[in-house]
Structure 1
Amino acid sequence: MKLRHMLASIVLAMMSLPASAGGVPESNGTIKIMYSTWSSINIQAQIAGQILQKLGYTVSYLPVDDSARYPAFENGDVAISMETWATTQKAAFETSLATGKIVDLGSLSAHAKEDWWFPSYMKEKCPGLPDWKALKDPKCAEAFSTPETAPKGRYLSGPVDWGGYDVERVEALGLPFEVVNAGTDASMFAELKSAYERKAPIMLWIYSPHWAPAKYDGQWVEFPKYEDACYKDPKWGVNPDKAYDCGKPEGWIKKMGWAAGEKKWPCAYQVIRAYDLDSKTIGTLVGQTDIDGKKIEDVAKGWIDANEPIWKKWTTCGGQ
């Protein structure tokens, strides 16, 4: 009888241990981490992936359009994303989360902000800025025009898959601007660099954390402050007939995952939950790739090599 009780106790004790205690990796399957069209998500994907590889996991990186990520995650085609921004993904993220097929893996310390941005030298040609109502003045709009858009102003938006409702915002607020989408964030910031050096007119999508708002003197346009009702209820705001008559939301940058993946790789998911970088660190890392021209893989490895005491605290479940 005593032996039977002893064996039962041992079995119960083993059942109470985390899955990782039986060995990491818990599954030989490949953890697919999302890549996208901006540098910081890819740098953080590499940092997370290289750390997981040190624990013995097999990792691959899968390019996914930002607008198409949710079906991919819900179907298990990709397992982890290191960045999901409230600024453009809040509603879609919450809808997908409600299906139970994805999981919220926690927020980074970094604070997300992105919206229309202009260099400070443009205030001479549009002195009412940063108030959005200044953009309704045809003279101000023309100051931001190009031969292709004149007399309308030109707004350089991000790649199409970023979303952001810029066309809807222009229509709802009655702005005499034409939205032009950049092909990549690299081309967008290359155009900013060229315009800034020539003091040429430019209005574009800038986001933070990023090196650009620290490097260049400028301001975000001050649109009506975002509320959830702005995107959902046309009666909200300055235009009673259209939604999106406000600025973009700001706030969290979350990590997200395929829900079923947490059962396959519980320790890996625990590492991602613990993972955290702040805005300054992310902006610095992006500058190393976008300005200094370093490879993303090398930037990630450099951070890992220089910050072992930090990331080892994230990996305790893997015996590190």
Structure 2
Amino acid sequence: MKTTLKMLGLLAGLNIGLAPAMAFSPESDEPIKIMVADWTSMAINTDIVAQILGSYGYNVQKVVADDSARYPGFESGDLTIAVETWQTTQQTAFEKSVATGKVVDLGETGMHAKEEWWYPEYMKERCPGLPDWTALKKCAEAFSTADTAPKGRYLSGPVAWGGHDEERVAALGLPFEVVHAGTEAALFAELKSAYERKAPIMLWVYVPHWVPAVFKGEFVNFPKYEAACTTDAAWGVNKSATYDCGKPEGWIKKMGWAEGEKKWPCAYQIVRNFTMDNDTISKLVQEVDVNGRSIEDVSTEWLKANEPTWRKWAACAQ
């Protein structure tokens, strides 16, 4: 627990830009600690939910936490709510945490997650056979840099995102070195630079996100994920290793500290009702990451334009 707590930091000065609700008193004035991780869609969705709850008088704090280290914090109540938990990298840890009875599944957001190795379209000429993953065994050097040659270079996300890329490389016998970007911004800044120069690059891309709409490219087709891939070495193409498959894809869920639902039942109902879709959040992320607008301005603009929608989510507070 000490390790987890060191990763947490309160963000002061939460901006509530919505008109205050009338004639509603929150069930408790204790702080609802909403987790924020290090990618833009979660920051935007978190700010949207925080502003909604704040408009109804809830004491809301946004708390920064590493994605893969969140679970002890939720089980202890140090964290209250998270609006994005991705099946792609967190399914096993999430389900294990819910099984303790200390964490509650607050339902799907409506967004569909995919995270995988991605390359620009121009790399297909240099690596015939793509998007089939087996092509990478023959043309890894096409993705190499001075630091990795003759091995290919795979630019992964920040370490806190998880994803088991090192295990996948080893299990599938891929002649690649995994290099982790320090931040999401650094990850996609490197893509932009490489794309403009038609330089070799293979990196972690995910949706919902603006990248696939701006840059032409494809995801690598790895062996399809099944749960046994991560637990049974006998499964899959490598009979002596796990993670010889692609990442799962599917839901993005909301989660919460189970005891918190007793303390703030209406707030939890608002979070359960909250939904978002891929197209909408991708455009909001683009406004922040590409057009340079602030998260607070983008989320507040969405809230003002969609007030009838989120007021319905908050029917328990009307």
TM-score (normalizing by structure 1): 0.92
For 2:25 and 2:269, how far apart are their aligned partners in 1? 12
**Displacement of 1:85:** 0.2
For 2:313 and 2:242, how far apart are their aligned partners in 1? 42
Give 1:193's aligned residue: 192
**Displacement of 1:142:** 0.6
Asked if the contact 1:36/1:64 (under 8 Å) is kept, the reply is yes
Give 1:178's aligned residue: 177
Give 1:77's aligned residue: 78
For 1:181 and 1:299, how far apart are their aligned partners in 2? 29
For 1:311 and 1:157, how far apart are their aligned partners in 2? 35
Asked if the contact 1:24/1:267 (under 8 Å) is kept, the reply is no
**Displacement of 1:218:** 0.4
Cα deviation per residue 1:260-295 (whole Å; 9 max; x = unaligned)?
111110000000000000000110111011001111
**Displacement of 1:158:** 0.4
For 1:198 and 1:105, how far apart are their aligned partners in 2? 44
Asked if the contact 2:103/2:256 (under 8 Å) is kept, the reply is yes
Letter in 2 for 1:37: D
**Displacement of 1:69:** 0.3
**Displacement of 1:252:** 0.2
Give 2:27's aligned residue: 26
Q: Secondary structure at the match of 2:70?
A: helix
Letter in 2 for 1:145: S
Asked if the contact 1:82/1:255 (under 8 Å) is kept, the reply is yes
Structure 2 counterparts to residues 223-242 of structure 1, below 5 A: 223-242=222-241
Q: Secondary structure at the match of 1:111?
A: strand
Structure 2 counterparts to residues 89-238 of structure 1, below 5 A: 89-137=90-138, 140-238=139-237
**Displacement of 1:214:** 1.2
Percent identity at matched positions? 65
Structure 2 stretches of 5 or more lacking a match?
A: 1-22
Cα deviation per residue 1:185-237 (whole Å; 9 max; x = unaligned)?
11100101111111111000000000001111100000000000000100000
Asked if the contact 1:153/1:178 (under 8 Å) is kept, the reply is yes
For 2:68 and 2:276, how far apart are their aligned partners in 1? 24
Q: Does 1:47 align with 2:48?
A: yes
**Displacement of 1:109:** 1.3
Asked if the contact 2:238/2:244 (under 8 Å) is kept, the reply is yes
Backbone CA RMSD of aligned residues: 0.8
Asked if the contact 1:152/1:176 (under 8 Å) is kept, the reply is yes
For 2:224 and 2:137, how far apart are their aligned partners in 1? 18
Cα deviation per residue 1:100-144 (whole Å; 9 max; x = unaligned)?
00100110111100100000100000011000000011xx10110
Letter in 1 for 2:174: L
Give 1:272's aligned residue: 271
Q: Secondary structure at the match of 2:112?
A: coil
Cα deviation per residue 1:151-187 (whole Å; 9 max; x = unaligned)?
0000000000100000000000000000000001111
Structure 1 runs of 4+ with >2 Å offset? none
For 1:102 and 1:214, how far apart are their aligned partners in 2? 35
For 2:92 and 2:161, how far apart are their aligned partners in 1? 13
For 1:229 and 1:24, how far apart are their aligned partners in 2? 48
Give 1:298's aligned residue: 297
Q: Secondary structure at the match of 2:314?
A: helix
Q: Secondary structure at the match of 1:57?
A: coil
Letter in 2 for 1:304: L
Letter in 2 for 1:204: L
For 1:102 and 1:224, how far apart are their aligned partners in 2? 32
Asked if the contact 2:24/2:56 (under 8 Å) is kept, the reply is no
Give 2:66's aligned residue: 65
Asked if the contact 1:35/1:61 (under 8 Å) is kept, the reply is yes
**Displacement of 1:24:** 2.8
Q: Secondary structure at the match of 1:110?
A: strand
Q: Secondary structure at the match of 2:100?
A: coil
The structure having more radius of gyration, on CA atoms, is 1
How many residues matched?
A: 296
